[in-house]
Amino acid sequence: MDDLLPIGRFARVAGLSIGALRHYDELDLLRPAEVDPATGYRRYRRDQVETARAIARLRDLEMPLDEIRTVLAADDPAERRRLVEAHRRRIEARTFRLQYVLHATGRLSAGKEPIVTDAATDRSSGLDLDADLDADGRRRLAAALYNHTWTFLEMPDRTPAQTDEMIHTAHASRYLWGTVGTEVNLARGEWLCSRVYAVLGRGEPALWHARRCLEINEALGSGDWDIAGAYEAMARASAVAGDLPAARSWADRARTACDAIAEDDDREIIAGDIATLPLG
């Protein structure tokens, strides 16, 4: 009896509010060791503190309560890591989506793009595979394929067929830019291919395309967010390939280049990418 902690003290030790503890009791996520039948006053065992802190930590990382319940019920540490990794992938997909939204709204607010766009390049319109493939049609399709690839990058749980489509649309976009685009378009196409393979955990092709992105930008003498993005791609691909020292070195170069980006919106996008680098 004396070893039980009253709810107020338990809340302070665990880093949770009393209201949260009551809610978790109602959900059968964290039951108190004892509830006074007359007053309803809750008391907890000291060995429940670790569980409560785990809940607090996972909630801080925005994991849904149902998933937290599954994590806590898993006895195998490897299974717990797998569940946390699945949540990380969903967060990564959401981050990609928000980065695109930030970039697109920034261009709209700066007057760099019209609010109403050509249907062929609208992300919500799908792909117009029957488009007239003259130079202008290829440019429109290359842009549509680029955007279409992002819709898959933003998915937290892709099917194998969707993964295949994501890979092929990235390469198709890069190919089309190679026939009608500028060197800048080529570098950005290589960056997208590298990001696709990095997300899939495939280090060798991620590094190949990141290096091509970097080589093109260096040959152009690119600055601003293009070169910062190339360094970020090298850092991400190196990390996925298991070379953390190289990844950290490239990340440092990316941060330095990011600081020199002229426009705040562009700098924020690259900084957001750098923040998601898996540097261990």
For the stretch 238-249, pLDDT in tens is: 999 999 999 999
Q: Which of 9-23, 25-39, 93-107 has the lowest mean pLDDT?
A: 93-107
DSSP code for 115: S
User: Is 199 found in the same domain as 138?
Assistant: yes
Residue 159 lies in a domain: yes
Say what percent of the chain tops pLDDT 90: 59
* Closest of 64, 2, 70 to residue 33, by C-alpha: 2
207 close to 238: Cβ distance less than 8 angstroms: yes
User: Is 145 found in the same domain as 256?
Assistant: yes
CATH of the domain at 184: 1.25.40.10
Residue 67 lies in a domain: yes
125: confidence class by pLDDT, cuts 50, 70, 90: very low
Is 38's pLDDT higher than 90? no
Is 137's pLDDT higher than 50? yes
165 close to 208: Cβ distance less than 8 angstroms: no
**In this predicted structure, what is the pLDDT of residue 85?**
87
Q: Which of 21-35, 49-63, 122-136, 223-237 has the lowest mean pLDDT?
A: 122-136
Residue 188 lies in a domain: yes
Structure tokens at 183: 């060197």
User: Is 176 found in the same domain as 126?
Assistant: yes
User: Is 154 found in the same domain as 22?
Assistant: no
Structure tokens at 79: 């299974």
User: Is 199 found in the same domain as 60?
Assistant: no
Residues shown for the chain = 280
CATH of the domain at 46: 1.10.1660.10
Looking at the structure of the chain, the number of domains it has is 2
Q: Which domain holds residue 29?
A: 5-73
Residue 221 lies in a domain: yes
User: Is 258 found in the same domain as 149?
Assistant: yes
User: Is 237 found in the same domain as 160?
Assistant: yes
User: Is 141 found in the same domain as 191?
Assistant: yes
Residue 23 lies in a domain: yes
CA diameter of the chain: 82
Helix count and strand count (H, E) for the chain? 12, 3
Which residues are CB-neighbours of 212 under 8 A, at least 6 positions away?
A: 187, 190
Give CA–CA dist 160/137, Å, rounded: 29
Contacts 24+ apart (CB under 8 A), 231-234: 231/257, 232/270, 232/273, 232/274, 232/277, 233/191, 233/194, 233/195, 233/198, 233/206, 233/209, 234/207, 234/210
User: Is 104 found in the same domain as 195?
Assistant: yes
Whole-angstrom CA distances from 135 to 141, 176, 181 are: 10, 9, 9
